[in-house]
């Protein structure tokens, strides 16, 4: 009998991210193949499946292979599910109807962050499917926070070992300090997280902080906190830890928010960018109904 499992895995950068061909996610995938994909996800943390032709439901089924797909109706992001009961989808797009974006995170550059770090239980993973891609820019950058942790000087590792930081997010913001109010108004979603976490699958230590969402270190004076965070942001964004993904339409990506940050480069305003996103939470996460 012919062997049907013929996937090829190709590394996209020297230490993480891989491109996998030979799987069509528009149909359910058998469990042996899925085991290979899970192993690749554990090893590479970002997987790109090119040339996929996927509707929302297909992407939702793909996301469900990695954990609990998030529900929650996203008002500004209903796009192709408008008026239906389908939930959880988020469009990332600069397309506007009557002047109003049809999705979220519409324009330009976005600073490094980890999806859901403003929640007590952040998203395990994010899936993003490229539909319309501008001719230049709009790349998604991934930063490896395990390599960043490993490369820290030992005295800094000692200093941050038991520290916690406050993450706060104003939905829709893409740069730091777009909204001056977020630290003084507790209505903005926020959570306290250790600066160093241990990845539950690999057991590796990772930095957990980002320029977009991490506001201050708990228990530090403001100048001390600002200095240490600035040092750590700059460290975690060094080129040696980054893989830059240049999108092709029909790319399907999944990445691990537990050990990576991601960001977006600027792109021309007059060009269209449209991607579809489903996040994946830890199984049994009751909070996982919102952004």
Binding flag, residue 277, ligand OGA (CB under 6 A): yes
Contact partner, 261, from Mn ion, ligand OGA, none, Cβ < 5-8 Å per class? none
Binding flag, residue 264, ligand OGA (CB under 6 A): yes
Q: How far is the CB of 22 from Mn ion (least distance, A)?
A: 28
Binding flag, residue 257, ligand OGA (CB under 6 A): no
Binders of ligand OGA among residues 63 to 122 (CB under 6 A) are 92, 105, 110, 115
Q: How far is the CB of 194 from Mn ion (least distance, A)?
A: 20
Tell me how many helices (H) and strands (E) the chain has: 5, 19
Binding flag, residue 126, ligand OGA (CB under 6 A): yes
Which burial class, exposed, middle or buried, applies to 1 when counting CB atoms under 10 A from its CB (0-12, 13-18, 19+)? exposed
- Measured from the CB atom, the residue of 65 and 125 that comes closer to ligand OGA is 125
CB neighbours of residue 261 within 10 Å: 31
**Size, binding site for ligand OGA by CB under 6 A:** 11
The residue ranges that bind Mn ion (CB under 5 A) are: 115
- Measured from the CB atom, the residue of 164 and 176 that comes closer to ligand OGA is 176
Give the closest residue to 262 by CA, choosing from 94, 128, 111. Answer: 111
- Measured from the CB atom, the residue of 41 and 112 that comes closer to Mn ion is 112
- The contacts of residue 260 (CB under 8 Å, 6+ apart) are 16, 45, 46, 114, 142, 143, 144, 145
Binding flag, residue 127, ligand OGA (CB under 6 A): no
- Measured from the CB atom, the residue of 146 and 262 that comes closer to ligand OGA is 262
Q: How far is the CB of 187 from ligand OGA (least distance, A)?
A: 22
Contact partner, 92, from Mn ion, ligand OGA, none, Cβ < 5-8 Å per class? ligand OGA
Using DSSP bridges, classify how beta strands 252-256 and 125-132 pair: parallel, antiparallel or unpaired: antiparallel
Q: How far is the CB of 284 from Mn ion (least distance, A)?
A: 23
Looking up tokens 């230590």 gives: 205
Using DSSP bridges, classify how beta strands 125-132 and 196-198 pair: parallel, antiparallel or unpaired: unpaired
- Measured from the CB atom, the residue of 115 and 144 that comes closer to Mn ion is 115
Q: How far is the CB of 245 from ligand OGA (least distance, A)?
A: 8
Give the closest residue to 256 by CA, choosing from 35, 98, 67. Answer: 67
- The contacts of residue 16 (CB under 8 Å, 6+ apart) are 44, 45, 46, 142, 144, 147, 243, 260
Name the token pair of 120: 């007590």
Catalog residues that contact ligand OGA under the rule CB under 6 A.
92, 105, 110, 115, 126, 128, 140, 262, 264, 275, 277
């Amino acid at each position: 009998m012919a062997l049907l499992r013929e996937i090829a895995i190709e590394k996209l950068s020297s230490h993480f991210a891989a491109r996998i061909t030979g799987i069509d996610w528009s149909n359910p995938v058998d469990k042996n193949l899925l085991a290979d994909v899970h192993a690749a996800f554990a090893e590479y943390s970002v997987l790109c499946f090119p040339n996929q032709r996927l509707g929302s439901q297909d992407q939702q089924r793909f996301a469900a292979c990695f954990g609990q797909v998030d529900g929650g109706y996203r008002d500004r992001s209903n796009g192709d599910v408008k008026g239906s009961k389908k939930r959880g989808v988020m469009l990332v797009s600069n397309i506007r109807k009557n002047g109003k974006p049809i999705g979220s995170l519409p324009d330009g550059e976005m600073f490094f962050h980890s999806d859901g770090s403003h929640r007590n239980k952040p998203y395990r993973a994010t899936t993003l499917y490229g539909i319309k891609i501008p001719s230049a820019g709009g790349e998604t950058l991934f930063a490896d926070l395990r390599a960043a942790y490993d490369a820290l000087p030992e005295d800094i590792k000692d200093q941050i070992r038991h520290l916690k930081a406050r993450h706060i997010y104003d939905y829709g913001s893409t740069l730091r300090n777009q909204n001056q109010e977020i630290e003084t108004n507790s209505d903005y979603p926020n959570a306290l997280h250790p600066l160093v976490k241990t990845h539950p699958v690999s057991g590796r230590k990772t930095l957990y902080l980002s320029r977009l969402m991490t506001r201050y270190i708990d228990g530090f004076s403001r100048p001390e906190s600002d200095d240490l965070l600035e040092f750590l942001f700059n460290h975690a964004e060094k080129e040696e830890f980054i893989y830059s993904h240049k999108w092709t339409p029909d790319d399907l990506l999944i990445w691990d928010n537990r050990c990576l940050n991601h960001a977006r480069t600027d792109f021309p305003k007059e060009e269209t960018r449209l991607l579809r996103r489903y996040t994946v939470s830890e199984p049994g996460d009751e909070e996982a109904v919102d952004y």
